[in-house]
Amino acid sequence: MKTILNFGAGINSTALIIELVKRNMKPDHVIFADTGNELPETYEHVERMKNWFEKNGISFLIVKSKYGIPLYDYYFAKKTIPWRKFRDCTDKFKKAPIAVFLKQFKNEGVMQYIGISIDEVHRVRKSEIKWIELSYPLVEWRIDRKKCIEIIEREGLKVPVKSGCFLCPFQPLESWKNLFNIHPELFAKAEQMEKQNRTYPDNTLIWKGTLEMFRRNITEQTDLRSCFEMGVEKGMECPYGICMT
């Protein structure tokens, strides 16, 4: 049976591969599914980890979707956006490329290591494919996210940022604010994608309102007045959670 680690290049999967090596459970392959639109910090972490993988004799592979273009270009051309309801971006740009790689081991079976920590145990699922077995070592070892950070630091590695593409509709408002402050050019691209989608402004990348409104609040607002001017009723909280900050 082949052992494969899904490497998301975040805290959990980084801590997991470190622990697997230390416990003499080195996987046959580590796979990173690249959407083409991860955060710059994530790509920097992947480059650092390439050296670590080589040093520890680990096969590291990068897989991409069958479409041959980044996630952003795919949705922009279709005049739509990744939707929270369907999560087809994850299916097409993360799960599908990995599934294609795993099919070559169908006859011998696959043990797939997933980096879910004990404080995310609700995310644990059983495999729907009979020749693939899912394993959650961090849950089994009762390692939480705080411990994951300690494992990475003890290894002498830089703790990565939370992984995920820069236009992910599931990211919290604070992440959008960080994107605007740290990578304004990427925020502008996300805003452009949101505006060109056929169902705008009914469907957006952000949980409340639009990215344009969110940007205006960050750059122009110093109190609740502009919120009221945009139609927020008096007494209500700022829909973006950033007023007075």
Give me the residue spans of the domains in the chain: 2-154, 173-229
Q: Under DSSP, is residue 202 helix (H, G, I), strand (E, B) or coil?
A: coil
Strand partners, 110: 2, 132
For the question of whether the overall pTM of this predicted structure is more than 0.75, the answer is: yes
Q: What angle do CA 185, 71, 84 make, to 5 degrees?
A: 95
Query: pLDDT tens-digit profile of 11-57?
Result: 999 999 999 999 999 999 999 999 999 999 999 999 999 999 999 99
Query: pLDDT tens-digit profile of 181-197?
Result: 999 999 999 999 999 99
The superfamily in CATH containing domain 2-154 is HUPs (3.40.50.620)
Tokens describing residue 201: 């402004």
